[in-house]
């Protein structure tokens, strides 16, 4: 059992919503920021004012964060970044940090580092995002990050986190036939040649890996049906739901979405679960937004400050045998 | 009594310490920010990340703040400013805001307003501070603000808030002799001519106004005895006390002060009360800093998050008669 727990831990794919508010934060609600843990690599998505305080509350070691993604240059999505960069520096960070954001972000960072005469100890790489969908901007061993062109007042980019295909899984009942030295090759899909010259086809020894998990982050945006093709069947879709239908006109004017519109998009894209966030401070109780979404998409949840949403590994029906990694 | 209470309220001179932490905030401690209420005019001094959240907790209407003073461009003293400026805008502010800060502050603000394509509805005037002591940079009907050249790693300016001399006070026992139409002139120091040609000298009708109250803000700074002449006998001196004596060498290297050094300066300047702040996050209990200061300056207090320190009006011994305004 201990081994099994370890396996689950090493396969994490989860989203912690650190802030769920819109531009004018309400009491107890913070501006946008999410922490993603994908196979124990930490990614920060948006970084509103106070994010480092939220990270501290969640007991996250800042220096474990390897990448930061900033969707756009409205203050409630990036104003916490400078403080975080500075705290990483003061905490003795030495490992590289990659920050992805709009082209303007680099100047905003540079001007402030210059003004404070701060010379970061760690390499900071600031990458300008294209304002287009479908561009792979980042990858590591476990995930690829692909851009989503959102529809907002200023250029805004959402992100699709797509788990990379994992190695094939060895069939438990054939395990004893596969020598240890050959296992990596077999997991990679190779057939197994035996000493007597015969070859065991890979399909007999392995199962397909679990399907890659996918998470899409769409904030801030007006209703944008052109996103559907990019986020089809993602496991989890975070979509802003700033307003109720009563304020649909206000949503249109400000390039935001209503909860119903978020649900309509989730339905059109046939996603697994819809997570609503970026709530206007006028709503004391966000359940009014949930109630507007549910009739259009039943599997809808409300983001909450500090709550973690885990995407579990699915095994497809054909591959429902016991899994050994 | 109701009248008396009203008088006291209209004569406020108080400091609320919204944040008392240093660069690396500890849990429950926030970076530098103070709210001054001087005769119901609100001034913000420094504005670390999260200041708008602190102001909201203190139930302060952001739009009542007329001036902001930023001491220097280290993030823990200014990173909350952009969010505050933006919230004022979103809250419909129309009245002018004056911001005083280092010359670099203007570019930092401009770059970010441009990046977010924000066009503020209210007039924002950003004034560059000289890096020198004794320059009057701001005044209104109730206060003058004078610079203090601090000794830090980057140019840093402290502020002396000096209440403007108030009108002379009418002697209660002579009140009936002074016609209503003449009272403003008499309060301004003029003699009172009577219908019969005689003149009552002003000194007979009035008392000196209470001595102007003064508050000095010194953060961040190494021990700087050259400040003494500028802050002599102020009612309240806020002075940073980042470290204990054990870390005096670290204080020297980082251009900060120990609690003892703050107390030594308060003693040399013969101030009324010393208020310590800007505590390093390494101190879980700030009383260790207070204990180091007390032997050198007895009238020492610790700044606390959200606590208000009131400077009461003093009447000098010669003018200890009952006061009528």
Place of tokens 């591959």: A319
Provide the pLDDT confidence category of residue B212 given band limits of 50, 70 and 90: very high
Task: Tell me whether residues B112 and A53 touch, CB distance under 8 A.
Answer: no
Structure tokens at A323: 């899994």
pLDDT at A229 (0 to 100): 98
Q: Chain B closest CA to A314's CA: distance in Å?
A: 39
The residues of A that are catalytic are: 76
* pLDDT tens column, B24-81: 767 778 999 999 999 999 999 999 999 999 999 999 999 999 999 999 999 999 999 9
Supply the angle between the helices A104-115 and A81-90 in degrees, to the nearest 10: 50
How far is A37 from B79, CA to CA, in rounded Å?
Answer: 27
Task: Tell me whether residues B116 and A75 touch, CB distance under 8 A.
Answer: yes
pLDDT at B26 (0 to 100): 72
Compare CB distances from B154 to A73, A102, A116 and report the shortest one's residue: A116
More confident residue, B11 or A148: A148
Structure tokens at A54: 């939220």
- Closest-CA residue of B relative to A71 is B116
pLDDT over threshold 70, residue B19: yes
Measure the N-to-C terminal CA separation of chain A; round to a whole number of Å: 14
User: Pick the catalytic residue: B46, B76, B220, B235?
Assistant: B76
Count of residues in chain A: 325
pLDDT at B316 (0 to 100): 40
Query: Taking CB atoms and an 8 Å cutoff, what residues of chain A touch B89?
Result: none
pLDDT at B10 (0 to 100): 52
B286-306 as b/e: b if 16+ CB within 10 A: beebbebbbebbeebbbbebe
How far is A244 from A27, CA to CA, in rounded Å?
Answer: 20
pLDDT over threshold 70, residue B318: no
Of A209, A205, A180, which is closest to residue A192 (Cα–Cα)?
A: A205
Angle, alpha carbons B111-B112-B113 (nearest 5°): 95
Task: Tell me whether residues B75 and A82 touch, CB distance under 8 A.
Answer: yes
pLDDT over threshold 60, residue B5: no
Task: Give chain B's mean pLDDT.
Answer: 92
Of A256, A292, A247, which is closest to residue A274 (Cα–Cα)?
A: A292
Task: Tell me whether residues A75 and B86 touch, CB distance under 8 A.
Answer: yes
**Per-residue DSSP letter, B102:** -
* pLDDT tens column, B224-236: 999 999 999 999 9
- Closest-CA residue of B relative to A101 is B115
List, in order, residues 6 or more apart from B295 with CB less than 8 Å away.
Answer: B263
Q: Are A303 and A238 in contact (CB under 8 A)?
A: yes
pLDDT at A322 (0 to 100): 37
Query: Taking CB atoms and an 8 Å cutoff, what residues of chain B touch A82?
Result: 75, 79
Chain A residues contacting B, CB < 8 Å?
A: 23-25, 27, 49-50, 52-53, 56-57, 73-76, 79-80, 82-83, 86-87, 90-91, 102, 104-105, 107-108, 111-112, 114-117, 153-154
Count of residues in chain B: 325
pLDDT at B190 (0 to 100): 96
Using DSSP, state whether B159 is helix, strand or coil: strand
Q: pTM here?
A: 0.89
Provide the pLDDT confidence category of residue B213 given band limits of 50, 70 and 90: very high
* pLDDT tens column, B259-292: 999 999 999 999 999 999 999 999 999 999 999 9
Provide the pLDDT confidence category of residue B86 given band limits of 50, 70 and 90: very high
Pairing type for strands B236-240 and B273-277 reads: parallel
Residue of A22, A29, A49 to mutate, testing the B interface (most B Cβ within 10 Å of its Cβ) = A49
Measure the N-to-C terminal CA separation of chain B; round to a whole number of Å: 14
**Cα of A208 vs its chain's centroid, Å:** 24
Which residues of chain A have a pLDDT value below 70?
Answer: 1-10, 25, 314-325
pLDDT at B24 (0 to 100): 79
* pLDDT tens column, A92-115: 999 999 999 999 999 999 999 999
How far is B69 from B74, CA to CA, in rounded Å?
Answer: 14
pLDDT at A321 (0 to 100): 39
ipTM of predicted assembly, 2 dp: 0.87
Of B202, B184, B138, which is closest to residue B164 (Cα–Cα)?
A: B138
* pLDDT tens column, B95-121: 999 999 999 999 999 999 999 999 999
Of B207, B211, B189, which is closest to residue B322 (Cα–Cα)?
A: B207
pLDDT over threshold 50, residue B321: no
pLDDT at A6 (0 to 100): 41
């Amino acid at each position: 059992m201990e081994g099994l727990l370890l396996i689950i831990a090493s396969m994490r794919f989860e989203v912690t919503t650190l802030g769920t508010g819109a531009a004018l934060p309400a009491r107890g609600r913070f501006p946008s920021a999410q922490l993603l843990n994908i196979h124990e690599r930490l990614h920060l998505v948006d970084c509103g004012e106070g994010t480092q305080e939220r990270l501290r509350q969640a007991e996250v070691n800042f220096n474990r964060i390897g990448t930061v993604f900033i969707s756009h240059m409205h203050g409630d999505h990036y104003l916490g970044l400078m403080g975080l960069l500075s705290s990483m520096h003061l905490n003795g960070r030495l490992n590289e940090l990659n920050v992805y954001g709009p082209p303007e972000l680099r100047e905003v960072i540079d001007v402030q580092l210059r003004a404070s005469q701060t010379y970061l100890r760690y390499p900071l790489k600031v990458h300008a995002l294209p304002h287009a969908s479908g561009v792979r901007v980042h990858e590591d061993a476990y995930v690829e990050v692909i851009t989503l062109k959102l529809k907002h007042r200023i250029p805004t980019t959402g992100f699709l986190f797509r788990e990379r295909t994992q190695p094939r899984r060895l069939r438990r009942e054939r395990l004893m036939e596969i020598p240890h030295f050959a296992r990596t090759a077999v997991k990679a899909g190779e057939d197994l040649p035996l000493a007597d010259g015969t070859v065991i086809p890979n399909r007999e020894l392995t199962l397909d890996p679990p399907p890659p998990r996918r998470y899409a982050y769409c904030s801030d945006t007006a209703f944008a049906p052109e996103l559907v093709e990019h986020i089809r069947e993602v496991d989890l879709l975070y979509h802003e739901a700033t307003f109720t239908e009563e304020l649909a006109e206000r949503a249109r004017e400000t390039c935001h979405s209503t909860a119903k519109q978020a649900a309509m998009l989730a339905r059109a894209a046939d996603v697994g679960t819809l997570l609503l966030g970026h709530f206007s401070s006028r709503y004391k109780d966000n359940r009014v937004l949930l109630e507007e979404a549910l009739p259009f998409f039943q599997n809808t949840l409300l983001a909450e400050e500090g709550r973690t949403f885990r995407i579990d590994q699915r095994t497809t029906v054909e591959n429902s045998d016991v899994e050994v990694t």
